[in-house]
Amino acid sequence: MIQKIRVQTIVGPDLKGNGILNDIRRLGIKNITRVSAIKVYRLEGVSEKEAKILAEKLLSESINQRYTMNSTSEESESTSEVKPVTIEIGYKSGVMNPEVASITKAASDLGIKLLACDSSFEYAFYGNLKKEEVEKIIEKLKLYNPLIEHIVKDEPRTLILKGQPGKTETISIRSLNDQELLDLSKDRLFLNLEEMRKIQEYFVKEKRDPTDLEIETLAQTWSEHSGHKTFKAELLVDGKKKEPLIVRIKKEALKYNKNIVSAFEDNSGVMDFYDGFGICGKVETHNAPSAIEPYGGAMTGSGGVFRDIAATGKGAKNIASTDIFCFAPIYLPASQLPAGCLPPEYLLKRVVSGVRDYGNRMGIPTNNGSVHFHERFRARPTVIVGAYGIVPKKYAIKDKPEINDLIICAGGRTGRDGIHGATFSSGEMTADTYTIHSSAVQIGNAIEEKRMFDALLEARDQDLIRLVQDCGGGGFSSAIGEIGETLGVTVDIKNAPLKYQGLAPWEIFLSESQERMIVVLDPKNLKAFEGICRKYNVESTVLGKFDGSKKLKVYFGKEIVGNLDMKFLHYGLPRRVLQAKQPAHLRGARVTSEVAGGSLRGGPQNEKEWIEVLEKVLSHGNVCSKEPIVRLYDHSVQGTNDLQPYSGKNLDGPNDSPVLRPVLSKQYGMVISHGLNPVLNNIDPYRGSIWAATEALSNFVAVGGDYKNASLINNYIWPFPDQESLWSLDRSVDAVVDFMKIFKIPVISGKDSLSSTYRGADGSVIKIPPTLCISVLGKIEDTRKTVTADLKKVGSTIVLVGEMDKNLGGSVYHQVNNLEIGSVPRIDLKLLPKTFDAIYKGIRNGQILSCHDVSEGGVISTIFEMCVGGNCGVNIHLGGVTSSHLRGDRMGSSEVSGLLFNETAGCFIVEVKDEKVAKQLFKNIPYITLGKTQKAPVIDVKNFFSAEVPNLKKVWQKPMKEMFS
Amino acid sequence: MRTKVLVLKADGTNRDEEMAYAFKIAGGDSKIVHVNQLRDGSVKLKDYQILALPGGFAYGDDIVSGKILAIELTSFFKEELQKFIERKNTAILGVCNGFQVLVRTGLLPFREIGKMRVSLTNNDSGHFECRWIKVKVNNKNNSQFLKGMDNEIIWLPIAHGEGKFIADEEILKEIEDQNLVAFRYVDENGNPTMEYPENPNGSLNSIVGITDTTGRILGMMPHPECFVRREQHPNWRRDKVKVDGLPLFENIVKFVKNEL
């Protein structure tokens, strides 16, 4: 029998209930007066007496809660109000509820053995309503995700999951014709006809048909997600043959190997640090899962990228996490949302919650990120998660496995969750994506991952490990397939611990259940390794060993369920030849406005217009303050942060990049930054990509980083690579290669996600703006030689450093004025290294008091943010400007707006003591003295306008404050 | 001999390394010990002078924060803990999740293992919060750990979702009457505050942390272990910054060494 305990908080606000009520109000529904939330526990296999002990000692606290046992909701509600409508929401059977393990453990500590248990929430809705109405409201609110949760309608009779192992099936591929091959592939394998034929050929030669496990293993290994087919393809760009994208990137990168420890070989790229350490970085996207289950998607995205760090070499320690999101504008009218896509507001909130709940629990500081908006991200959101780590260099490279080495699975158990994740994410988004691919959703349990990492690091430090491989996309099939490539392996997946019975062997092999790692050990280290795992409550199991067969041999007990040649698995995939073609709309330049800002009737005409447009820019999603999001993330854990996301008088001035001291007792540090601009990338993939890379490196330099000690990570988030999208991808890769050439620094890691196209049933197609995200990691000798962006002193001189291009195409200024004209800013790459050097030197010798790079929102937004931090103002006088195309003495409103809203990356606003210092620091590069800082928190631009910083600040903070409070 | 500090770790604990480091630079000899090592007897509490419970999410903070670890401690180590606190010159520090564990074991405020008297519950804001805040040391509290910090206003970082201190009226009165409050959240003028975000969670009486009646057990929500050097403060580049977290560790180590 199941004992049901309901726990209600009776002292203090009902936060969950009130939160839901707020959301209901926002929907404009007024007839619900109150919502209360009640936690429900179901305990199986214990007596009522035992359940009572658990209720009192474990499940409720008498100070502020009360509990009831085995009562219906009606009995326990003793208020005089009208009976509420109650609805209980729980996890679907088979979906892991992370709380269950803790309840079972604590009960056992109290001497009570549970057979099974579960927890859920019951919501009571007060007001004059019918149940059906409430159900409709819940659906509108998206209070639960039907992929993983359900409304509990009947009392469950048992919570114990039973099942018989599924059977392995043979697929008669040899007899299929082309159409039948395609039918087999559709919605399951995501392979094209040529690839399907290759598989058919292989099995014809083998004189047998494949098992479901084999065909699924091939499909996942050959998926775009794992196989990177586009990046490896031969290209014909407008008829001209070009080397594969990945070849071009690698070739250029490996020329600059001064700091490289390992690049493109492992789960993350590693660069040299100090004292025998390396630092590593990996940036991933988790777009497809986040599109259908944003909370779980973001969680498992974080979990996955942390595992990439933990599975670098013999294991690195995670020290930072970054999060970068792109959504459709928050207030996108529902009518513009394609069928099967979730609204951006919901996506943003849920993604932020997922990142928060995973990163915080892992104890990994999340200290860098950004949010971008563009209406075409309604096709599919972009969720970019990055992780950074530190590893002693002696453990930074994996050992080569030897014959008889053991293959161990450590960490979480295997369930049905996440099956087809790798293949699914390689597919496009359709109206059916939401329903058909629900099994691709993975659920995260950060604590499982945290204790596994603790155990692995201890095992690494005892030198027990040959290598660690992450079970990411493709699960065992991918991890084991990869590590076994040279020698060959035999595994028995019947040994894999399961969350519940009933999985077919292919499901076990392909499952993307989270928090699992494959570890390779010399057999003599097994006992010691298992001891460490026990210490940390980590389950570890021997799955098999390296056997020298050059085959992937998979058993399920005695039955052989897979036997593939490693060579075919890894090299059988035919290399594609792909055509790229310049899209017509990108042929020839866009209409360029002759005078920057000139098309705007000559710019704002009076102070009121100036302030109006400034407020529009500052409240734009890409510019507004993201502080309410950042405060939800733990950015202080590990105690390493020597340059925090926000600083200044009121701790609300944003900074460019975090500076970390990963070894607490040492002064050296690590700087992390990133840059992207989907809007510019969309207009001009080459210049937009240069802008993104420049922005990323400028953020790095703005805090005091030396670009010569930086490494890059490139992520391409693109629509499906049809000929036109492939053309822009090719241009973007060219930009990255050129960027490396200029700065002589390498890309050391990267990833592509080429499926962000939406296809509607009505034939409508939406492509996201192609997005290059460049992340930067680098080392710095002394974290004390860094600066923040907040203005430090009254009366210091404010200088704009760097060459400003006159183009404003794609700027936020243009966006808020609904202008679609003009070119993307062209960045003077020859000059840029000199600018970076000057800034670096000025910061190192303490002459630059504060620094902030120019980015979205332009020069004036940069200055404004510095004023927020300094809680002060600036007095800008453009009379002295004598740059090539800007003559201060003759500047009218259009020229001034063209300067103040200019977004040329690679330019900086710096605070120095006086003009003399500026002259000395920037003698070889263009700079403009803009004015002086003043105590009054006012931005004065002489002859044009005067704006109160506190008023602007309100406008700038409002959008995210509204969203997250 | 250096003072031996046991930094207790369980699944999901994550501020153990900073805690160990803070005690180390304060003169202690820190060892991070997993609760399983206590359970299998390979490490014994009696060999240590200081027990430190760091922040994190022990066992995922499932059900409520710190609950599962508190149950584990009270189920298996009731006697050892009792002996530990009865020994002279021992100290217990619980920070954030560690504070949550201390109140749920009953060690705070009245040293009654197994009797929970006060609670730390969800922030009034309804969400996790990471920021630097100002707290004032309660000069009426006689704990030696706070020596030399009378009435001082200090900066510390907080990072928690369940930090609202609550107790029923009687208990709260007892805590105040016995001067067990160690710190309070204060506003710009140094006055105790209930305003968000200066009081980030809505704690009653602006309570940040409390001691037991002997002043040898201290629990607090903010993280002194993350402010043991100047550069950890967000504004060390603009303000004169005093390292406010370190003295606490130095005091605790000196106290158990009988040097205060």
Q: Is A390 helix (H, G, I), strand (E, B) or coil?
A: strand
> How large a percentage of chain A has pLDDT more than 70?
94
Domains along chain A with CATH numbers: 2-151 (no CATH), 787-965 (3.90.650.10)
Structure tokens at A529: 């390794």
Q: Which of A392, A389, A397 is nearest to A280 (CA)?
A: A389
Q: With left for phi above 0 and alpha for psi between -120 and 50, is residue A148 left, alpha or beta?
A: alpha
- DSSP state, residue A58: I
Q: Is some CB atom of chain A closer than 8 A to the CB atom of B116?
A: yes
Q: What percent of chain A has pLDDT over 90?
A: 77
Of the listed ranges A130-134, A449-453, A781-785, A942-946, the one predicted with least confidence: A130-134
CATH of the domain at B89: 3.40.50.880
What confidence score (pLDDT) does residue A825 get?
A: 95
CA–CA separation, A482 vs A459, rounded Å?
Answer: 22
Q: Chain B partners of A110 at a C-beta cutoff of 8 Å?
A: 71, 75
> Which sequence positions of A are flagged as catalytic?
225, 286
Cross-chain residue pair A63–B167, CB shorter than 8 Å: yes
Q: Which value, to the nearest 10 degrees, does the dihedral of the CA atoms of residues A893, A895, A898, A900 take?
A: -70
C-alpha span between A420 and A17 (Å, rounded):
36
The per-residue DSSP string of A670-698 comes to: EEEEEE--HHHHHH-HHHHHHHHHHHHHH
With tokens 């959301």, the residue in question is A23
| Confidence at residue A887, expressed as pLDDT on a 0 to 100 scale | 57
The per-residue b/e assignment along A714-753, b for 16 or more CB within 10 angstroms, e otherwise, is bbbbbbbbbebbbbbbbbbbbbbbbbbeebebbbbbbbbb
Whether residue A264 has pLDDT greater than 60: yes
Return the SS3 of B185.
strand
Position A290 pLDDT exceeds 90? no
Burial, A883: exposed, middle or buried (Cβ in 10 Å; 0-12, 13-18, 19+)? middle
Residues in chain A: 965
**Strand order of the sheet with strand A559-565?**
A465-470, A516-521, A406-411, A540-546, A489-492, A551-556, A559-565
Is B216 part of the contact surface with chain A (CB cutoff 8 Å)? no
Q: Could you list the active site residues of B?
A: 96, 223, 225
Per the DSSP assignment, residues forming a β-bridge with A407 are A520, A544
pLDDT in the model for residue A600: 52
Measured between CA atoms, the residue of chain A closest to residue B10 is A536
- Residue range A132-155, pLDDT digits in tens: 888 888 888 888 888 788 999 989
* Closest by Cα among B56, B53, B144, B55 to B93: B53
Higher-confidence residue: A419 or A612?
Answer: A612
Q: How many domains does chain B have?
A: 1
- For A830-858, the pLDDT digits (tens) are 999 999 999 999 999 999 999 999 999 99
Q: For strand A240-242 and strand A116-127, is the pairing parallel, antiparallel, or unpaired?
A: unpaired
| Chain A, chain B: beta-carbon pairs less than 8 Å apart | 166
Model pTM score: 0.95
**pLDDT tens digits, one per residue of A13-54:** 899 999 899 888 887 888 899 999 999 999 999 999 999 999
Instruction: Check residue A595 and give its pLDDT.
Output: 41
Q: How confident is the model at residue A293 (pLDDT cuts 50, 70, 90)?
A: confident
Q: Which tokens go with A611?
A: 């302030």
**What tens digit of pLDDT does each residue of B222-255 get?**
999 999 999 999 999 999 999 999 999 999 999 9
Query: What mean pLDDT is predicted for residues A720-734?
Result: 96
pLDDT band at A882 (very low <50, low <70, confident <90, very high): low
Task: Give the Cα separation of A434 and A256 in Å (integer).
Answer: 44
Look at residue A44 and give its three-state secondary structure.
strand
CA distance A278 to A271: 5
Using pLDDT thresholds of 50, 70 and 90, give the confidence band for residue A288: confident
Chain B closest-CA separation from residue A36 CA (Å): 14
- For the residues A541-568, what does the mean pLDDT come to? 97
- Measured between CB atoms, which of B11, B62, B76 is closest to A450? B11
Q: Residue range A733-756: average pLDDT?
A: 96
* pLDDT tens sequence across A54-110: 999 999 999 999 999 998 655 545 555 578 999 999 988 777 788 999 999 999 999
Q: Confidence class of residue A432 from pLDDT cuts 50, 70 and 90?
A: low
- B24 → chain A, closest CA residue: A665
Structural domain including B159 reads 3-256
With CB atoms and an 8 Å threshold, state whether A99 touches B226. no
Strand order from edge to edge, sheet including B50-53: B28-34, B3-9, B50-53, B91-95, B217-220, B207-211, B181-185, B129-137, B153-160
ipTM of the complex: 0.97
Smallest Cβ–Cβ distance between B15 and the set A637, A664, A792 belongs to A637
- If you average pLDDT over residues A114-126, what whole number do you get? 95
* A334: confidence class by pLDDT, cuts 50, 70, 90: confident
Of A635, A649, A787, the CB nearest to B130: A635
Average pLDDT of the residues in A171-190: 92
pLDDT tens readout for residues A650-663:
999 999 999 999 99
A286 Cβ neighbours under 8 A, 6+ residues apart: A297, A298, A300, A301, A304, A383, A385
Contact state of B62 with A98 under an 8 Å Cβ cutoff? yes
Spatial distance between the Cα atoms of A846 and A500, rounded to a whole number of angstroms: 61
As given in the structure block, the two tokens for residue A851 are 């620094």
Q: ∠ CA(A768), CA(A740), CA(A849), 5° rounding?
A: 90
Q: Is A52 exposed, middle or buried (0-12, 13-18, 19+ CB in 10 A)?
A: middle
Q: How far apart are CA A771 and CA A808, in angstroms?
A: 19
Ramachandran angles phi, psi of B94, nearest 5°: -120, 125
Q: Which residues of A touch B124 (CB under 8 A)?
A: 12-13, 15
Q: Is B76 on the interface with A (CB under 8 A)?
A: yes
- The verdict on a CB contact (< 8 Å) between A788 and B67 is no
pLDDT attached to residue B137: 97
Which residues of chain A make contact with B156, given a CB cutoff of 8 A? Answer: none
Under 8 Å between Cβ of B78 and A464: no
Q: Which of B60, B116, B226 sits opposite A636 (nearest CB)?
A: B226
Residue A77 has what pLDDT? 53
